Amino acid sequence: MERNFRDGRGGKGGKLLIPALVIVVGLLFAFIFFSPQFERVSPVIKLKQNSSWNMREPLVIELSDNSNLTSYKVTFIDDKGEQILDEKVLSEKTPKLSLKVAPPKFETLYKGKAIKIKIEAVDDSKWVFLSGNTTEIIYNIAIDTKAPETIVLNNSRYIARGGSALVVVKVADDNLDNAYITFNDTVNFTLIPFYKPNYYAAIIAWDISIPFEDFKGVNLVATDKAGNKSIAKVPLYIQDFAVKNSNLNIPQSFIETVSTNVLEKMNEEVPADLTARFVKQNRTLRAENIATIKKVCMTNLPKESFSDFNINAFSRLQGSSTAAGFGERRHYYLNDTMIDEAWHLGLDWASVAHDNITISNGGDVIFKDYLGIYGNSIIVNHGLGIATIYAHTTSQFTNVGEKVTVNQKIATTGITGAVLGDHLHFGVLVQGIEVNPIEWMDPNWIKTRITDILTSSKAMMN
């Protein structure tokens, strides 16, 4: 990339002998120098396809200036000559401009491999003899019309609403920009490098809030820096989930004590109206807490390539009974009026008060804090985008950054957060989304849906 800033360095002082005149001229220069009308900052040019381009998509250009732009020009240059793609003199005050510039037209297929794009922009400064500051950038661009190679190598046969599945893919491109798995084109999952170069794996989730009939598909998407895009379908059989609806009468005392306390502990303003107070705790704060969980999990996704992934079936809190299941749709009533709804996204296990919580899989502690409706919570990262959350605890015996091992006691159960009685809320997270833990408590499910698929994928790569 070549840059030429023709923003001028004026001011050759003459040999003036009369001191008063020197001062006057000096002041005049100072006035011009510091006047906003005479600013010397050149326009800023940004080209999205600044190193490679497929010559099908328009060039995406952002121009900006600290005063106003007055004109711009975009020129295509190759070994045959030059072609102006776009140019304009701007009459309106334009500090910022987004351009989509169409590619040049050729009568036959363009065979060139390398071109230049010259972009010039001028601002309305009075500097440089009133002609404005000019920025000119010449980009050297490789022509790349080849879309990324995308192959879905292997995947779990099924995915259930609220559940998880594994996908193993190959993505290859010299200019790869981004590659991910998308569920319904709305929920995206990061690919984790797996075993050999250009191969990736991801455990994906069907967010319980997306109904069975709304399933549109799971795709591998890859884009390169030149703007080429490939999409490959992930073939999955889909299974529905029997949502359990439950109606809960919220005692006024719950809002006055628990909701109030949770909002105060999160430094939130407490609405005077009881319905508004409950909704703020149950809907607004819940959404914030879920976003925090998602962020913590996403920032701790593995970046290095992995070859093996082993995970034990998770076991329930010893001697406990299940107080609430995954995928319950809760309808909250205050004095016979429904005031809110929410999903219950984990398993609630109740035993004796302050019961010991030991974990079934080792990992890294990535979160230990008070988390609104979840109360004092711990999140343990098990790798490959899988983490578990332990919520409503009383005491914690580990810290962020520590490694925990199988059967280690990490906390005791409690009543912190938006709860009525002592229990453990156990949640399994796939790239930060709470999924059905029952799948991850079944050793046969883990073997057939996850670990066997990884093993057979490695065989396919050899």
Q: In the complex, what is the shortest distance from the CB of residue 255 to Zn ion, in angstroms, rounded to a whole number?
A: 18
Instruction: Choose the binding region for Zn ion from 125-133, 255-263, 270-278, 339-347 (rule: CB under 5 A).
Output: 339-347
User: Least distance to Zn ion from the beta carbon of 461, Å?
Assistant: 40
Part of the chain binding Zn ion (CB under 5 A), chosen from 83-91, 238-246, 331-339, 341-349? 341-349
Binding-site member from 340, 348, 434, 439 for Zn ion (CB under 5 A): 348
The distance of closest approach from Cβ of residue 391 to Zn ion in the complex, given in angstroms and rounded to an integer, is 7
- Shortest Å distance, C-beta 426 to Zn ion: 8
Cβ 425 to Zn ion shortest distance, Å: 3
- Beta strands in 10-80, from DSSP E residues, in sequence order: 44-47, 52-53, 59-78
The two most distant CA atoms of the chain are separated, in Å, by: 100
Q: Which is nearer to Zn ion, 144 or 422 (CB)?
A: 422
Nearer residue to Zn ion within complex by CB, 94 or 259: 259
Minimum CB separation from Zn ion for residue 301, in Å?
25
Least distance from Zn ion to the Cβ atom of residue 326, Å: 9
How far is it, in rounded angstroms, from Cα 49 to Cα 287? 37
Beta strands 134-143 and 52-53 are: parallel
What does the alpha-carbon distance between residue 167 and residue 234 come to, in Å, rounded to a whole number? 8
What is residue 56's DSSP assignment?
S
DSSP letters, 428-455, are: EEETTEEE-HHHHT-HHHHIIIIIHHHH
CA 337/CA 343 separation, integer angstroms:
19
Instruction: Tell me how many residues contact Zn ion (CB under 5 A).
Output: 3
Nearer to Zn ion (CB atom), residue 368 or residue 425: 425
DSSP helix/strand/coil, 111: coil
Site string for Zn ion, 72-91 (x = CB under 5 A): --------------------
The dihedral over CA atoms of 60, 66, 68, 69, expressed in degrees to the nearest 10, equals -40
Residue pair 457/375 in contact (Cβ under 8 Å)? The answer is no
Q: Which is nearer to Zn ion, 103 or 325 (CB)?
A: 325
Indicate the residue among 192 and 208 with the shorter CB distance to Zn ion: 208
State phi, psi for 63 to the nearest 5 degrees.
-115, 140
Q: How far is the CB of 345 from Zn ion (least distance, A)?
A: 8
H or E segment and range at residue 275: helix 274-279
Q: Rounded to whole angstroms, what are the CA distances from 452 to 105, 166, 439?
A: 52, 10, 15
Q: Is 170 in the site for Zn ion (CB under 5 A)?
A: no
Please say which residue, 173 or 348, places its beta carbon nearer to Zn ion.
Answer: 348
Cβ closer to Zn ion: 39 or 434? Answer: 434
Q: Which stretch binds Zn ion (CB under 5 A): 100-108, 128-136, 245-253, 345-353?
A: 345-353
> Which residue lies nearer to Zn ion by CB, 161 or 425?
425
Q: Minimum distance between the CB of residue 289 and Zn ion, rounded to whole angstroms? A: 12
Span interacting with Zn ion, options 131-139, 252-260, 275-283, 346-354, rule CB under 5 A:
346-354
Q: How far is the CB of 219 from Zn ion (least distance, A)?
A: 32
Give the residue nearest to Zn ion (CB): 425
How far is residue 197 from each of residues 19, 156, 353, 454, measured CA to CA in Å?
74, 22, 50, 15
Find the shortest distance in angstroms from Cβ 262 to Zn ion. Answer: 14
Sign of the C-alpha dihedral, residues 139, 140, 145, 146?
negative
CB contact burial 334-356 (16+ within 10 A = b; e otherwise): beeeebbebbbbbbbbbbeeebe
Provide, rounded to whole angstroms, the least separation between the CB of residue 423 and Zn ion.
Answer: 7
Q: At residue 48, what are phi and psi to the nearest 5 degrees? A: -65, -50
Counting Cα atoms < 13 Å in the Cβ hemisphere of 248 gives 22
Nearer to Zn ion, 286 or 425 (CB): 425
Closer Cβ to Zn ion, 230 or 416, answer by number: 416
Cross-strand partners of 303: none
Residue among 128 and 347 whose Cβ is closer to Zn ion:
347
Provide the β-strand partners of residue 232. 220
Q: How far apart are CA 162 and CA 165, in angstroms?
A: 10
Q: Residues 396-435: x/- map of binding to Zn ion (CB under 5 A)?
A: -----------------------------x----------
CB closer to Zn ion out of 159 and 347: 347
Stretch that binds Zn ion, among 24-32, 68-76, 278-286, 343-351 (CB under 5 A): 343-351
The residues in 105-164 that bind Zn ion, with binding defined as CB under 5 A, are none
CB 114 within 8 A of CB 141: yes
Cross-strand pairs, 86: 74
Q: In the complex, which residues of this chain contact Zn ion (CB under 5 A)?
A: 346, 348, 425
